[in-house]
Structure 1
Amino acid sequence: MHELAVTESILEIALRHAADAEASRISDLYLVVGELASIVDDSVQFYWDFVSQGSMAGGATLHFRRVAAQMQCQSCQHTYSPNESLPCPACGSTLSKVIAGEEFYLEAIEIDQQSVGESA
């Protein structure tokens, strides 16, 4: 259910940037979602269709780019995928930190701009 609040935030950010760019419409949004982020693409899309209705972002296409999880061993600095092993596959240490895979952000938006002299 937290996808609703997240999706409303995405819309607010996109609308603010589109207004700053004097856009007439938002056509595409590019989202980056880490493998470890608790974000469900289909839920965001469902809420997007609802919350963006009637705004300049209504009908905009969401594009999701997933980022794989990556860990870094704090003992030997080896970087690895947590799918390989929870302890470090290089030295066996369990002292690791997540360095990728928790992201969730709006990377870019595509807009249409109204031409000068064109009326709304």
Structure 2
Amino acid sequence: MHELSLTESIVKICSEEALKNNLKRIEEIRLKVGELSGIVPDCIQYYFNIISKDTVLKGAVIKVEKIPMEIQCKDCNNICTVNKINFCCPNCGSFNIKILKGNEFYIDSIKGE
């Protein structure tokens, strides 16, 4: 359910940017979402359609780019992309890892007129 509060923040930020840049309408919002963030993009779009109903954001499309999990092994120093089910280094099998990417969530760009 945290997608609702995240979506409210997206609407607030994009509305402020539209005002600052004299945009009459926002057409597209691009988000970067890390694989480990736990965010469900379909929920964001669902809440967005409801919340943005009477704003310059009405009808805007949200495009989501998933950011895969990237780790660095603390034992062999290998850096690689892995799936979120396998938290071990594919090079040496160590579970002594540092997560470098995959927790991100941010607005990458806004397109409007």
Per the TM alignment, residue 79 of structure 1 is displaced from its structure 2 partner at its CA by 1.2
Which position in structure 1 is the counterpart of 2:110?
Answer: 109
Q: Per the alignment, do residues 76 and 59 of structure 1 end up closer, same or farther by CA in structure 2, a change over 3 Å counting?
A: same
Which position in structure 2 is the counterpart of 1:115?
Answer: none
- SS of 1:24 mapped into structure 2: coil
Distance in structure 2 (CA, Å) of the matches to 1:57 and 1:89: 44
Per the TM alignment, residue 85 of structure 1 is displaced from its structure 2 partner at its CA by 4.3
- After superposition, residues 1-120 of structure 1 pair within 5 angstroms as 1-83=1-83, 85-112=86-113
Aligned residues: 112
Per the TM alignment, residue 97 of structure 1 is displaced from its structure 2 partner at its CA by 1.1
Distance in structure 1 (CA, Å) of the matches to 2:106 and 2:95: 29
Per the TM alignment, residue 82 of structure 1 is displaced from its structure 2 partner at its CA by 3.3
- Greater shift in the superposed pair: 80-89 or 44-53: 80-89
Distance in structure 1 (CA, Å) of the matches to 2:108 and 2:42: 18
> Tell me, which stretches of 5 or more residues in structure 1 are unaligned?
113-120
> Tell me, which stretches of 5 or more residues in structure 2 are unaligned?
none
Distance in structure 2 (CA, Å) of the matches to 1:64 and 1:86: 24
- SS of 1:75 mapped into structure 2: coil
Q: TM-score, normalised by structure 1?
A: 0.86
Q: What's the C-alpha RMSD, in Å, of the aligned pairs?
A: 1.5
| Letter aligned with residue 47 of structure 1 | Y
| Letter aligned with residue 38 of structure 2 | S
Which position in structure 2 is the counterpart of 1:117?
Answer: none
Give the number of the structure whose alpha-carbon radius of gyration is greater. 1
